[in-house]
Amino acid sequence: MMTNKIYFSHSTALLCGIILLALLCTPLSASESNELDTLVLTRFNDDSSDFSWYVQNDNVMGGRSEGGFDISSGQLIFSGNTNTNGGGFSSIRTQPLKIDLSAYTGIRVKVKADGRRYTWQLQTGAQRRGRQISYWADFDTLADETSVIDIPFTDFFPQLRGFKLDGPELDTSQITELGLYIYDKKDGPFELRLMSIEAYIETQQP
């Protein structure tokens, strides 16, 4: 009887080990994998980070564009009217922050917009001759359709006052500001509804 009990105990342990190994080797579902591969920076339908957005339009340089935002029904609604007789842009930006995104591939936004081209902005502590440098990447939208758009960090280029620079490269470990611009050199009304902002990791498909 003692031998049988010992034999049963070892068999049970072996079986448990096999089951555990199988569980560890089981691929994650798509939803589980996505949760591991993204970092939610903010959503507008829950209590995630409030970045205290503010508006900056081209009137700071004598332009005539109008723009602003409102947060309602789980969305940040960025809207206004661009006028190219001047700077031709409108933007919203976060208050200073500090985020390390060096483990990620880029920024992912969920939007519903108007078919115009928008620009995502990042800032670090980088400067050129004492002036703050911004990093821009353009993205296109589909009119009246909700889209999830990935903006790789490799798409961002340094610029100062609208002029592209040759460096320095974006340091994603030192993100100090997020921003959203419309600066597509077109006149007229615009509206973009922003539902969420995430950082994502690009994974290779099996």
Which helix (H) or strand (E) is 56 found in, with range? strand 54-57
- The pLDDT assigned to 17 comes to 45
pLDDT tens-digit map of 41-88 = 999 987 666 789 999 999 988 899 999 999 999 999 999 999 999 899
Nearest to 35 by CA among 177, 199, 194: 199
- The C-alpha atoms of residue 160 and residue 135 are separated, in whole angstroms, by 9
pLDDT digits (tens, 9 = 90+) for 85-136: 989 999 999 999 999 999 999 999 999 999 999 999 999 999 998 999 999 9
Tell me the whole-structure pTM to 2 decimals.
Answer: 0.81
DSSP state of 185: S
* Torsion of the alpha carbons at 87, 90, 95 and 98, rounded to the nearest 10: -80
Biggest CA-to-CA distance, the chain: 95
